[in-house]
Amino acid sequence: MPRTNPQLLRTYNHRLNGIAPSGIRHFDDTISKNADLIKLTLGEPDLDTPEHIKQAAIQGINDNDSHYSAQAGKVELRQAIANYLSTRWHIDYDAEEVVVTNGATQSIYSALQAIVNPGDEVIIPTPIFSLYEPIIEILGGHVVDVDTSQTGFKLTPALLEDALKQHPGVVALVINDPNNPTGVSYTEDEVKQLGQVIAKSPIWVLSDEIYGELTFDHDHYSLAREIPDQVLYINGLSKSHAMTGWRFGYICGPSEIMQRIKMINAYMVTCVADNVQDAALEAMTNGQEDAYEAKAIYQKRRDLVSSRLDEMGVEYVMPTSTFYCFIKIDDSYGKDDYQFGLVLAEKVGLGVIPGRMFGKSGEGYIRISFAASEEKLTAGLDRLNKFIQLLGK
Ligand SMILES: Cc1ncc(COP(=O)(O)O)c(C=O)c1O
């Protein structure tokens, strides 16, 4: 096994020094040493990829669809994405303004790379999915953290105006609607009000709408409908079609910046795997029912989780979307959600994610994922109940 020549250590990209691997994965690995653990940790659908989508990929392989595609993705696929966005969310992009990527993850990286210069500030309302911050830091940017814990875990126009006033040089804002980890989603009115504030400032918005198909109590309303000239719209099939392992996502935006994103993507990966694009074409063309079915399943589980938590008298954020529930921890732990998560796993064998993994404003909460069967959820919630009983003694 070669060891790094010590003289080379100084050549590392120093921006990586302060960045740690995913805290969520690390915590999950730590508690997973308990063999009897019920894990409600990762944001991974437990459903299978729909059969007709799998068949499309198999057909692609059998047809020797195994070459480089157009770098931004096959034209018919980008057209299918544009059609979907127009009929489903009333947002209008030409196929030329769509780039397909390896998961939404790569869309997020490419978008931020196209915008952020060293020293630039980017506003992130937290708690939020933990990917954006390290990427901004790798690129030499700085995060302006806006705490939403006092406003129902939503960015309000007042909070945004205040952040923009205090940081006039901000180049971008990240919005994740519907939100991981809280399960909250913005109403049409709220999106419109935020859009009005954003429109007054020359900033980009990276709008990660990957859970858009999974809203329960109101329809999803895209920010790209309000301010298309400022939005980089990000979506994918991981959550709506249980396709995390296929690695398929896409990004759309105004044509000038999309030329740059196209170039970044081409230099990074050339293109997405051919047969994955065949599967995605099938999903984008004939897969709307799959998303409705997935949503009905998660909604039923949301109802199960919320009624059980109500019975237990536990405080939580009502998830209007996604497959996550953000639960307040017992007062005896103060804000120490990390310790709470460790002891919960150790004492009753329930695995959750500490809220601080999604930003400081998530402290005092844990996230459970209800992308798990009803049996598993029921057993997991029984264990949470047992732990709460133990604490009360
Ligand atoms: C908000 C959000 N955006 C993006 C992703 C990454 O999606 P993908 O699997 O398409 O890379 C996730 C995954 O958990 C997520 O929660």
Structural domains of the chain ordered from first start: 6-48+290-388 (3.90.1150.10), 65-287 (3.40.640.10)
Q: Give 127 Cα–ligand 1 centroid separation in angstroms.
A: 15
Determine if ligand 1 sits within 6 Å of the CB of residue 349. no
As a whole number, mean pLDDT of residues 36-48 equals 92
Q: Which atom of ligand 1 is nearest to the CA of 102?
A: 11
Determine if ligand 1 sits within 6 Å of the CB of residue 240. no
Beta partners for 149?
Answer: none
Q: Which atom of ligand 1 is nearest to the CA of 249?
A: 10
Determine if ligand 1 sits within 6 Å of the CB of residue 180. yes
Q: Give 104 Cα–ligand 1 centroid separation in angstroms.
A: 6
Q: Give 58 Cα–ligand 1 centroid separation in angstroms.
A: 25
- Out of 25, 102, 105, mutate this one to test ligand 1's pocket (max ligand atoms within 8 Å of CB): namely 105
Band of pLDDT at residue 393, cut at 50, 70 and 90: low
- Reference 381, options 391, 390, 370, 371; nearest CA is 370
Q: Give 390 Cα–ligand 1 centroid separation in angstroms.
A: 35
Q: Kindly tell me if the per-residue pLDDT of 25 is higher than 90.
A: no
3-state secondary structure string across 179-246: CCCCCCCCCHHHHHHHHHHHHCCCCEEEEECCCCCCECCCCCCCHHHCCCCCEEEEEECCCCCCCHHH
pLDDT at 22: 79
Q: Which atom of ligand 1 is nearest to the CA of 43?
A: 14
pLDDT at 47: 96
C-alpha to C-alpha distances, 197 to 164, 226, 248, nearest whole angstrom: 10, 11, 32
As a whole number, mean pLDDT of residues 193-197 equals 98
Q: Give 311 Cα–ligand 1 centroid separation in angstroms.
A: 32
* Pick from 12-26, 152-166, 363-377: least confident: 12-26
Q: Give 208 Cα–ligand 1 centroid separation in angstroms.
A: 8
pLDDT at 1: 87
Determine if ligand 1 sits within 6 Å of the CB of residue 244. yes
- For residue 143, the surrounding DSSP H or E stretch is strand 142-147
Band of pLDDT at residue 35, cut at 50, 70 and 90: confident
- Reference 237, options 200, 265, 278, 205; nearest CA is 278
Determine if ligand 1 sits within 6 Å of the CB of residue 249. yes
- Assess contact for 290 and 268: CB atoms under 8 A: no
As a whole number, mean pLDDT of residues 159-174 equals 97
Q: What percent of the chain has pLDDT over 90?
A: 88
Instruction: Taking each helix axis as running N to C, give the angle between helix 51-62 and helix 274-286, from 0 to 180 degrees, rounded to the nearest 10.
Output: 140
Alpha-carbon Rg for the chain, nearest whole angstrom, is 21
Q: Mean pLDDT over all residues of the chain?
A: 96
Give phi and psi for 60, each to the nearest 5.
Answer: -60, -45
The residue nearest atom 14 of ligand 1, judged by CA position, is: 43
For tokens 């398929």, name the residue.
248
Q: Kindly tell me if the per-residue pLDDT of 381 is higher than 70.
A: yes
Characterize the bridge pairing of strands 249-252 and 98-101: antiparallel
Determine if ligand 1 sits within 6 Å of the CB of residue 41. no
> Which pLDDT tens digit goes with each residue over 103-158?
999 999 999 999 999 999 999 999 999 999 999 999 999 999 999 999 999 999 99
CB atoms within 10 A of CB 65: 16
Q: Which atom of ligand 1 is nearest to the CA of 105?
A: 11
Determine if ligand 1 sits within 6 Å of the CB of residue 237. no
Determine if ligand 1 sits within 6 Å of the CB of residue 183. no
Determine if ligand 1 sits within 6 Å of the CB of residue 185. no
pLDDT at 24: 86
* Pick from 12-21, 144-153, 281-290, 314-323: least confident: 12-21
Band of pLDDT at residue 391, cut at 50, 70 and 90: confident
As a whole number, mean pLDDT of residues 195-201 equals 98
